[in-house]
Amino acid sequence: MSTTLEHTHEEHTHELAPHIRIGRARAGVLMLILSDTMSILAILAAGGYLNALNTENAFRASGDHAAGFVPGLLLAIALVVSGLGYYLWARTTRKNGGNGLPLFFILSLVFMLVALVGQTWVSLTLNRDYVSPYSAYESVITLISWFTAVHLLLAVIIGVLLLGRITRNRVKVVGLNYVPEVVGYWWFYTIIGSILLWLFSLVI
Amino acid sequence: MTQVSVTTEVKRPGIIHRLFPSVVSGILLGIVGAVVFNVITNAITQDNNQDATVVFSYVGWILFFFVGIGAFNGVWKWGFGRAEATTAEELELAGKDQGLWRYFRYTTDHKVVGMQYLATTLFLFFLGSLGAFMIRLEQSQPGALFFNPSTYNTIVGMHGILMIVASIIMISGPFGNFVLPIMIGARDMAFPRLNALSYWLIFSIIPVFFSTIFLGGFQTGWTGYAPLSVQTLTPGMDAYSITIIVFAVSTTLAALNIITTVMVLRTRGMTWGRLPIFVWGVILSVLLGLTAFPTFLMSQVMVLMDRVFQTSFFIAAYGGNNWLYEHLFWFMGHPEVYVIALPSMAVAAEITSVFSRKTVYGRRMLLGSLITICILSVVVWGHHLYTSGSATALNAAYMLDTELISIPTGFFFLALIGTFWRGKVWVTVPVLFIAGMLVNFVIGGITGIYLADLPTDEILHGGMFVTAHFHFTLVGSMVFGFFAAFYYWFPKMVGKRLNPRLGTLHFWLFMIGFNGTFLSLFFAGLQGEPRWSANVAPPFATANLIASLFAILIAASVFVTIYNVIITLRSGERADANEWGGKTLEWSVPTPVPLENFEHLPVVTSTPYDYGTPEPHPSDAEGALEPAPLLPQEES
Ligand SMILES: [Cu+2]
């Protein structure tokens, strides 16, 4: 019984309709973003809470500092450029039936990579400056710094995979043209989340 | 065993395709990964940082386990493959024509994943109950009997977290995967690969979790409270934290998968209003998990940072605070109770309707109350910190909103009793478990009000009363709901009928044993016995002895269940496709369920509870019932 069913329908009929595939991709990524936002909120809440409690007056020891403002600013600019590049690529892709300008995407990926390298450097420098055991303030800054680095790494990995699709001309595959849009959600989310965490590290 | 597979791999090349990728290659590569990461970490950390070694060895294990089982193949192909996976490749990945071996591979078929979850849940419940029996054994008489206090604490902690993990996955895992897609008229989950990933993530942490026994255990109990978790010198605590982190990732993936499935893959006519109540219960539960678990994940990241990198999130001397842990933990910890409860309550409503041959009484009211519980449960976590001194000013608010939860919970009872009311109830094993659930939930719920109440909680907190209370809600109510679901859907999932006499025996042994054990512990709690104390003090000896004696009945019920499953698998009667005369879609497909569930996607025209006038009779199950309200749908 089951076999006849599988044979007659195997090749064509069980493909999901395009609008279902789009809805599925959007919903999946948005929920991933919701979940990840909760972990960012957990970090913000933890930092703010420890700051407010200032247990034993030891939250921030004298001489404790965040990462330098200028490197942070440069990284933020790199991320904004990356976002802009991605936006332009996705826009041209949408307007030209899947044939976007890959240059924009490469620009976006390169700047994301620059941000990753920079963020890793910032994190490593921080840990060289801080003396263990770290104060709660230094702990929060360390967490923010590495959390951001991991997110940028994830974006770079996704970017490289997407570059693979672009070079194989798989972005305009019929029924899969939502990929630039949906990956974009995560791309922009990474950028906004990282900048938000950086700003938080400045004010805490 | 692993060695054998290596040699066969070399001698018979044909089998390589079967073993790679599979769980065998996953484990082999995972061990290699752990060793490699171990050596590298030892080389980098000069000062013999034991915690770092343990943490990164496990990272290596998990990463390479998933390389070995083939989890990254699809990712790689998405980026660098020449074309999209064909339908034939997808069916191959779904386990087409692979027999039982598909259960040991990265198989995407939702029914395979459901069975994997079911087997894992039962396995974890079994191990967790062994822990429970060790606890009752140690507590049967005053003084140290078998274990030293540290071992005892580890056993309590392992029992706790095992049971919590098992009951978080017990319904959304097995039935949310196997039954839910069929119920909404889908051919599979929205993200089949993520589905396999969410299961195998749980599989990958089972050895990590049990390794804590060999790494000195963890003395914090299941809550892993800081700063003890940070000060604990044994690396068993690292294994605990890794387990939680990976588990949180797994539940997140499972949650987004289930929600997306219901959002986009409902068949024609399956409107939100016609969605079976079980589906509502599961999506509300996983939605709650999706928002609650990330904070738990972050709390364990912070614990590991404190342990490995000498940060101070929870160390007061350097500006950290234990309250931070308590808030992060309970922001997950209270909703988690409802992550467990909501699907179980929904199952109870679903099954009650089928066996009363009546529509769910006050279905909208019930749905509304489940949603209300879902929302309220996010804002009540502070009741776990009443006596901590953290937010004294907010205690009254926490008390009020916690007690508000009893209102929608009351509606749940109303809905179930209303459904049973004047139905000709077909008393089966699932119905027995629901009756038991209702009784136990009253006791669990009402004792909860005393704990939500500030003045009484001042006296009762930290005592056996709390232990007895949450066992009544989690075990007496929700695990009973799980067993109702288990006996209800087992014939569909396995194709065989569990022995109803043994099922009835299971129920009565469990019900009497459970009530005897935990009513005694309520008494011990009222006498003032503290929780988490390895040795029973003489004033509480009698209550604890009685509890331990009744626990023997629970132990007997466990073995009755195991025996029942084994004889059913070996020589059980074949089950009917529609074993109970249910009207939800899973009963409209053949047993065993075909690979893609439906030949033609059904069109739904009504809710699945239209039983007409309540004239049920057991013979209805013989197929005398009119078919479910379905019409074949034209394929688009
Ligand atoms: Cu609670």
Q: What is the ipTM of this complex?
A: 0.92
- Listed by number, the residues of chain B in 65-104 with a beta carbon closer than 8 Å to a beta carbon of chain A are 75, 78-84, 87-88, 91, 96
The string over B45-79, giving b where at least 16 C-beta atoms fall within 10 Å of a residue's C-beta and e elsewhere, is: eeeebbbbbbbbbbbbbbbbbbbbbbbebbeebbb
**What pLDDT does B14 receive?**
66
Task: Please name the member of A17, A38, A43 whose beta carbon is closest to the beta carbon of B291.
Answer: A38
Is the distance from CB of B319 to CB of A59 less than 8 angstroms? yes
Residue B609 C-alpha from the chain's centroid: 27
Q: Say how many Å lie between the first and final Cα of chain A, rounded.
A: 65
Using a CB-CB distance cutoff of 8 angstroms, which residues of chain A are in contact with residue B310?
A: 132-134
The amino acid at residue B20 is: F
List, in order, residues 6 or more apart from B12 with CB less than 8 Å away. Answer: none
Is the distance from CB of B131 to CB of B141 less than 8 angstroms? no
Is the distance from CB of B285 to CB of B339 less than 8 angstroms? yes
**Closest residue of A to B253, CA-based?**
A32
Is the distance from CB of B272 to CB of B240 less than 8 angstroms? no
Torsion of Cα atoms, B304 then B305 then B307 then B310, to 10°: 180
Is the distance from CB of A162 to CB of A176 less than 8 angstroms? no
Protein residues near ligand 1, an ion, with CB under 5 A: B 334
Nearest alpha carbon to residue B322 among B303, B294, B295: B303
- Domain A18-203 matching CATH 1.20.120.80: the answer reads yes
What is the C-alpha to C-alpha distance for residues A43 and A48, in angstroms, rounded to an integer? 8
Give the three-class secondary structure for B632. Answer: strand
Neighbours of A103 (CB within 10 A): 12
Task: Find the helix or strand (DSSP H, E) in which B631 lies.
Answer: strand B630-632
**Closest residue of A to B288, CA-based?**
A35
Contact B291 A60 (CB under 8 A): no
Task: Find the helix or strand (DSSP H, E) in which B448 lies.
Answer: helix B429-452
pTM for this predicted structure: 0.92
CA distance B248 to chain A (A): 10
Nearest alpha carbon to residue B412 among B482, B342, B468: B342
**What pLDDT does B625 receive?**
44
**What pLDDT does B217 receive?**
87
Instruction: Report how many Cβ contacts below 8 Å link chain A to chain B.
Output: 178
**What pLDDT does A64 receive?**
82
Contact B596 A5 (CB under 8 A): yes
Task: Please name the member of B298, B309, B592 whose beta carbon is closest to the beta carbon of A42.
Answer: B298
What is the C-alpha to C-alpha distance for residues B165 and B209, in angstroms, rounded to an integer? 11
Whether B392 has its CB under 8 Å from any CB of chain A: the answer is no
Contact A35 B328 (CB under 8 A): no
Using a CB-CB distance cutoff of 8 angstroms, which residues of chain A are in contact with residue B316?
A: 55-56, 58
Q: Which of A36, A37, A56, A134 to mutate to test the interface with B (most CBs of B within 10 A)?
A: A134
Q: Kindly give the distance from the C-alpha atom of residue B448 to the centroid of ligand 1, in angstroms, as a whole number.
A: 9
CA distance A2 to chain B (A): 5
Contact B635 A56 (CB under 8 A): no
Mean pLDDT in order along chain B per 10 residues (636 residues): 40 66 94 95 83 95 96 92 85 87 94 97 97 95 88 92 96 97 95 96 96 89 92 88 96 97 95 95 96 96 94 94 96 95 97 94 95 94 91 90 94 96 93 97 95 93 95 97 98 95 98 98 96 91 97 97 97 93 94 92 90 54 46 44
Contact B191 A134 (CB under 8 A): no
Quick one: CA dihedral B389, B391, B392, B396, positive or negative? Answer: negative
List, in order, residues 6 or more apart from A141 with CB less than 8 Å away. Answer: A66, A67, A126, A201, A204
List chain A pLDDT tens, one digit each, 204 residues: 333 333 333 334 577 888 899 999 999 999 999 999 999 999 999 999 999 999 999 999 887 888 889 999 999 999 999 999 999 999 998 888 777 788 999 999 999 999 999 999 999 998 888 888 899 999 999 999 999 999 999 999 999 999 999 998 888 777 778 899 999 999 999 999 999 999 999 998
Residue B310, phi-psi category: left (phi > 0), alpha (psi -120 to 50), beta (remainder): left
Task: Please name the member of B290, B299, B595 whose beta carbon is closest to the beta carbon of A35.
Answer: B290
Using a CB-CB distance cutoff of 8 angstroms, which residues of chain A are in contact with residue B324?
A: 46, 49-50, 53
Angle (CA) B257-B258-B260 rounded to 5° is 65
